[in-house]
Amino acid sequence: DTAVSQTPKYLVTQMGNDKSIKCEQNLGHDTMYWYKQDSKKFLKIMFSYNNKELIINETVPNRFSPKSPDKAHLNLHINSLELGDSAVYFCASSQHAPGQATNEKLFFGSGTQLSVL
């Protein structure tokens, strides 16, 4: 069984559209994250939620809105898509939030490749 699963794996859409990427983890973890990997392979954190509460919010346009209906899910909704949003988006999870425990492991999903035309 996949520990962290995100859908879809590939998403091709037109500029200006609104799209969502879903993420689910079956590990019983408290914390989930969204990372963005750009065309140069640079991976950067976007958001983190702990027990459905936002704890990390890096400088990300307001068009990106994470939603956590429960601690096993963290979806990413993107409004008014732009060409620069094309990237691979990774969901991840960990048992605890940053600062709560040592010896943590981060589990990544397999990524969603978003292409904005």
Instruction: Show the site string, 3-22: x = touches another protein by CB under 8 A, - = not.
Output: --------------------
Per-residue string for binding with another protein, 47-66, x by CB under 8 A? -x-------x----------
Q: How far apart are CA 4 and CA 31, in angstroms?
A: 12
How many residues bind another protein, per CB under 8 A? 30
Sign, CA torsion 25/44/52/101: positive
Please say which residue, 75 or 89, places its beta carbon nearer to another protein. Answer: 89
Cβ neighbours for 78, distance < 8 A, ≥ 6 positions apart: 18, 19, 20, 21, 63, 64, 65, 85, 114
Instruction: Give just the sign of the alpha carbon dihedral 97, 98, 100, 104.
Output: positive
Least Cα distance to 35 among 114, 91, 78, 81 occurs for: 91
The interface region with another protein, picked from 16-24, 66-74, 78-86, 105-113 by CB under 8 A, is 105-113
CB 43 within 8 A of CB 111: no
Residue of the chain from 8, 44, 68, 70 that contacts another protein (CB under 8 A)? 44
Nearer Cβ to another protein, position 44 or 63? 44
Which parts of this chain interact with another protein (CB under 8 A)? 31, 33, 35, 40-45, 48, 56, 88, 90, 92, 94, 96-106, 108, 110-111, 113
